[in-house]
Amino acid sequence: MGHAFNQYQSPLQRSCEHAVSYIESLPERKIDQVATSEQLRYALGGPLPLEGSDPAAVIDEMVKNVDAGLIASGGPRFFGYAIGGALPASLAADWLVSAWDQNVPYYVSSPAMAVVEETAAEWMVELLGLTPGSAVGFTSGAQEAIYTGLITARNTLLQRAGWDVATQGLYGAPRINVVLSDQIHSTIKRALSMIGIGLNDIIKVPTDDNLRMLPEALRDIMANCEGPTLVCAQAGCIDSGAFDLFDEIADCVAAHPNAWCHVDGAIGLWAAASDKQKHLLKGIERIDSIDTDGHKWFNMPYDCGMVIVKDPSAITIAMGGNNMGDYLNDAMAKPDRNAINFGIAASRRARGVPVYAAFKSLGKAGIAAHLDNCTDLAKLMAAQLAEVEGITVLNDVVSNRFSVQFGTGDTASRDVLTERVVHRLQQEGYLYPSTSGYKGLKTMLISILNYHTSQEDVLTSVEKILAAFAAEKAALV
């Protein structure tokens, strides 16, 4: 077996060629490929190889066999779920993260990566107008960020109540009241169930027609919550893009003797970077912990999430970085940033590097222009669709996403027609919306997050949507 480091050159060159070819194909590529799982298993599976192969040949063969099973979610007309693209500088930086192959829980294991992430964290807090000095941890995505934030909330609430989770565990701990928007994302519930808080104990706060939490209802509920209380709100509801009223929510939390507020900002937190949109997040700097995704509206390559905690000591204590083995004592004693204090991962790649590259390549003005473009395009598409009889935009479009129903009949018939229109569009492959639900209604969800989406993409997509609507309406007659 050879160990010459020039062995990397050929496979990396081939990888670069394939990657550039794929990315440049995205504007014209059919979004949803047609390969079945059986076809993919036939192409990619088989017995474990007994002998090795040339690395460059492995790359070529793998690219050939996966191509038909790739979803072009990085393209300008992928409007489903909440998936962005990848900024050029961030993608290039992410490749270097793999090449540098640094482990970043401690400053001593990679001083350069520690300072890059420290800088990216500081810039992020400044960009979003959050409390200076807030702690930022880089996670795999919003789910891990939520998990980290809620662990911090749980431990801090119980510590205030005289209970130390780290030494006493959870058996016999005071009960934590959990108060959520009735439109909260499933990742919050998933995290709660993973940290020992039962879903049966959740108290749901009703929302208005645009899916914003009703502050007066929250106030009444919290008045009856005795003991530690966790409140979860949203910055960018999945189905409407709506933002809860953070100043009023923070007032409710501040009035309670032992409460913590976490905001799920997986999609919408980035709006705080735009002078045109930051009013939607008035009061966000008063929130105790926030999660967000980089690979949604901020267009980082997967995977990249962030957790932000206003009180750095709270997350540092909750993450227990100082409880590591003796062999790490010297590493933890260093005065510089030890990333293990801001997340649950003990080993991870330097996820903050693509974020740093984005800040450097776009600057605040470029980031704001991207955010405003997505919101403007969402409003344009929604306005065009709303003009057509039989198409209903269900929410006020304040951000980058909206929900639509097709048809004028009863709920069941509208649900059926809406699902058929969405599936037709997905199969045609020019654009990709997804289905969702809006207070029980089947909907078409449009989410515009990609840096490369243009007005032409949106206007042509409107034409495709109208054609699909006409065809499916006729088919059901």
177-204 pLDDT tens trace: 999 999 999 999 999 999 999 888 799 9
CATH of 365-475, one of 3.40.228.10, 3.20.20.70, 3.90.1150.10, 3.90.1150.170: 3.90.1150.170
Average pLDDT score over residue span 430-437 = 97
Residue entry with tokens 């010459």: 4
pLDDT of residue 334: 61
* Chain segment 231-266, per-residue pLDDT in tens: 999 999 999 999 999 999 999 999 999 999 999 999
Partner residues linked to 234 by β-bridges: 264
Report the distance separating Cα 367 and Cα 33, nearest Å. Answer: 31
**Tokens 């243009």 belong to which residue?**
454
| Nearest partner of 401 among 208, 225, 271, judged by Cα | 271
Which of 333-337, 380-384, 420-424 shows the lowest mean pLDDT across its residues?
333-337
Give the pLDDT mean for 105-115.
Answer: 94
Neighbours of 109 (CB within 10 A): 17
pLDDT tier at 26 (50, 70, 90 boundaries)? very high
Say what percent of the chain tops pLDDT 70: 96
Query: C-alpha 291: how far from its chain's center?
Result: 8
Burial of residue 216 (number of CB atoms within 10 Å: 0-12, 13-18, 19+): exposed
Respond yes or no on whether the N-terminal peptide bond of residue 303 is cis (omega within 30° of 0): yes
Amino acid at 3: H
| pLDDT tens for each residue of 222-233 | 999 999 999 999
Q: Indicate if the pLDDT at residue 327 is higher than 50.
A: no
- The pairing of strands 401-406 and 441-447 is antiparallel
Class of domain 92-358: alpha beta
Distance CA 316, CA 426 (A): 45
Mean pLDDT across the stretch 49-71? 96
Query: Residue 417 contacts by C-beta under 8 Å, 6 or more apart in sequence?
Result: 406, 407, 409, 472, 473, 476
C-beta separation of 449 from 371 below 8 A: no
Q: What pLDDT band is residue 338 in, cutting at 50, 70 and 90? A: very high
Q: Tell me which residue of 298, 403, 303 sits closest to 345, measured CA to CA.
A: 303
